[in-house]
Amino acid sequence: MASQNRIIDYNKILEIRNRDNIYARDLGIVVTALGDGYAESQLVLEPRHRNLIGSVHGGCLFTMADTTGGAAATSCGNYVTTSTGQISYLSPAIDTEKILARAEVMKAGKRLIVAEVKLYDDHKKLLCIGIFEYARLPKEIG
């Protein structure tokens, strides 16, 4: 997935993503792993992440999926911006202390990068799955 013309420093991208993505950082989302076309993140839950019925708010899950997919997309070498995102909520996130996300780049084109993202609770139950498209920006990352 990575550019064949330059070496990508995944650790540097991981550091940039966690430091500069202020919205995700404020929510508590941390990218924990990043490699060639791949990213993982986690969110330790707090009361503010839950909705009125006690499950994790769908908007929070969507943000986590988008953040993790975006991290995987940046592993291709460029800054990116989300162009589309679709998510299917499969199970409520109720009896869990943490959410884990895994993203994999499915296609890395010249202009668009497509990633599949899956979110799990701390019991390894699949909560939702999403497909996100990211537009490559002209600025290289890392």
Rounded Cα distance, 7 and 18, in Å: 21
CA angle 78-83-88, nearest 5°? 115
pLDDT tens profile 77-134: 999 999 999 999 999 999 999 999 999 999 999 999 999 999 999 999 999 999 999 9
Q: Which pTM does this prediction carry? A: 0.95
Domain 10-140 carries which CATH code?
Answer: 3.10.129.10
